[in-house]
Amino acid sequence: MLLMLGMTANATVDENFYIFLCFGQSNMEGNARPEAQDLVSPGPRFLLMPAVDDPQRGRKMGEWCEAVPPLCRPNTGLTPADWFGRTLVASLPENIKIGVIHVAIGGIDIKGFLPDSIPSYIKRAPQWMKGMLAAYDNNPYQRLVTLAKKAQKDGVIKGILMHQGETNTGDPQWARMVKEVYDNLCGDLQLKPEEVNLYAGNIVQADGKGVCIGCKKQIDELPQTLHTSQVISSDNCSNGPDRLHFDAAGYRELGCRYGEAVARFLGYEPRRPKMEIAKKIEVPADAFIAETTVPGNEFPKLDSQRRGYFYLNAPDAKKVVLDICDKKYDMQPDGKGGWMCVTDPLVVGFHYYFMNIDGVNFIDPATETFFGCNREAGGIEVPEGPEGNYYRPQKGVPAGQVRSIYYWSESSKAWRHAMVYTPAEYEKGKKKYPVLYLQHGMGEDETGWSKQGHMQHIMDNAIASKEAVPMIVVMESGDIKAPMGRGQSMGDYGASFYPVLLNDLIPYIEANFRVKTDRENRAMAGLSWGGHQTFDVVFNHLDKFAWLGTFSGAIFNLDVNNAYNGVFTKADELNKKIHYFYMNSGTEGMDKMFRTEETVKKLNDLGVKAVYSKSEGTAHEWLTWRRGLNQFITHIFK
């Protein structure tokens, strides 16, 4: 955020505005990706005078703004100067503001800051550095001095921060050249050396395996050449995998140490700003890649406790949240552009999930996609044990087919899509089969039962074991793929499908598949809102269907005495027409709100032979519905 500070060329210098010059190479430039805590502004007491324009953030060179990373140039990372400023804000009185001017170039030799050496250095600089040098008009030293003179009209320069040396590892002239840069700055800016120290940060050590570890000794010895310098220790500062740059935690720690050194020199007791220390997520050895993970990805994973491990590469994100099983988890940045989290133990079965980057929902690119929640969604299968074999393909069990069909609907004046399951034996003869019209729930589509529900495996296994008779299963979108429209009543939602089903889809199936066409060989079932549709269709068209099932059916406040023209009050007549009337629900979450068991009891009290079963431990989810379908199909067409 740009700040209107009221600072002009003629304004009185604010003696309580402490300004610090920051220069060096890549570790001062900032190599690690800022994490969430780094991107929260410390407020108007910590300011940056940008050394280059940054249109994306509304920053202009030479105009003070709040100091939020990147402090160097656009697309650079977290720098020690970030937490240096935060530490001073925490340590110094509230009437004191901190300002930084930041000029740094990855890989630059100390000669790149010596006015007499800059022209020749520019000529021999490597190609990859030329764009960075050009950002400072090929004279980084002059850019630093020009901005520092402008800043002196607003406040007082109190120190110079440097992190440089890696490129000059082993150069016996390095300390002398650093002193020359310092002396030039003091002379050009009329600074008193005894009041303005040089603070030199040490290099990445990586437990003695740092790429430039040989530079440590020459930095440690800098005060022998420059008596007004202090060396900022990098002992135990964590680093990235290149062993050349610090990671985000390392930059924070080193920055705080710079700030503590300056606070002491200024006569204040150092205080560290609040810093979140994220506990590293350890993936246990027993974790395995979920079956719904796209091949080639290491995550999502599950462990033996059914905890999910999720990873996302989102280097520019400020906040990433995982949303799964009605709970949100803040993902932790790893300092390298990645974000990770671990969930609580998940209920077995299939679950939709989303990730959210900075307020926007999206699909995890590492997972297969599934249509649910009115959109494509990520999904994860948390495996059951052997009890889940009924919905898994089994060796030796003949496999049916799930076909994709398009048909013309005169009722809706449109081509429509449906999925049709045919049993394994369908291809081998001329036999005709009964038909189950099977509906999905609100916000899902016709692929749900075969993709999320594993309907085809449930059918294959039940038919092979002779628990179910061979049948054809038809799945259509049901006009409940889109969310309920504004002003639309719940009674109207999905009702446009009813004439399509009766006048278009059933005739198409009977004309194009070998099926039996009487009501005795026609069933309808559905999950959630598909269960609601099943009630509406079947109980208004008992001449068309003889079997009915709902799984977590959205049957709200059913008036058993008056609904569907009082059909439930004529129990004997209804029982003769509906040969199997089945309803199931889970025991958790939303399914408890539907009160399915209570509805079945009311029907039973009227003499209606409705059957209820509960899915223990599951909620409004696919495992509940798989279990319901598996039971329902063993009782129909018999």
Catalytic positions are: 26, 242, 245
The dihedral region occupied by 607, where left means phi > 0, alpha psi between -120 and 50, and beta the remainder, is left
| Long-range Cβ contact pairs of 495-501 (< 8 A, separation 24 or more) | 495/536, 496/412, 497/533, 498/533, 498/536, 498/537, 499/411, 500/409, 500/411, 500/412, 500/416, 500/476, 501/437, 501/476, 501/537
CA distance 353 to 375: 12
The alpha carbon of 313 is separated from its chain's Cα centroid by a whole number of angstroms, namely 9
Cis peptide before 55 (omega within 30 of 0): no
CA distance 186 to 214: 29
Name the nearest CA neighbour of 578 among 553, 541, 605, 552.
541
Q: Give the helix/strand (H/E) hosting 263.
A: helix 248-265
Give the list of residues 6+ apart from residue 31 with CB closer than 8 angstroms, or none.
77, 78, 106, 240, 245, 246
Q: 423 near 470, Cβ under 8 Å?
A: yes
Q: 185 near 161, Cβ under 8 Å?
A: no
Tokens 């005060």 belong to 223
CA distance 121 to 116: 10
Instruction: Name residue 501's amino acid.
Output: L
φ, ψ for residue 98, nearest 5 deg: -120, 135
Name the nearest CA neighbour of 22 among 135, 147, 171, 179.
147
Name the nearest CA neighbour of 622 among 258, 282, 370.
370
CB atoms within 10 A of CB 270: 18
CA distance 383 to 113: 61
Q: 46 near 86, Cβ under 8 Å?
A: yes
Alpha helices in 503-595 (DSSP H): 506-512, 529-540, 563-566, 571-577, 590-594
**DSSP string over 23-55:** EESHHHH--BPP-GGGGS---TTEEEE-SS-BG
- Exposure string for 35-61, b = 16+ CB within 10 A, e = fewer: bbbbeeebeebbbbbbbbbbeeeebeb
The alpha carbon of 412 is separated from its chain's Cα centroid by a whole number of angstroms, namely 39
Strands 301-302 and 288-289: antiparallel
Cross-sheet strand order for the sheet of 580-586: 401-409, 414-422, 472-476, 435-439, 522-527, 547-551, 580-586, 610-615
Residue 214's SS3 state is coil
Between the two ends of the chain, the Cα-to-Cα distance in Å is: 72
CB atoms within 10 A of CB 173: 11
Distances (CA, A) of 178 to 100, 107, 118, 197, 219: 20, 16, 14, 13, 10
Our CA angle for 573, 578, 584, nearest 5°, is 125
Helix, strand, coil shares, percent, the chain, to 5 = 30, 25, 45
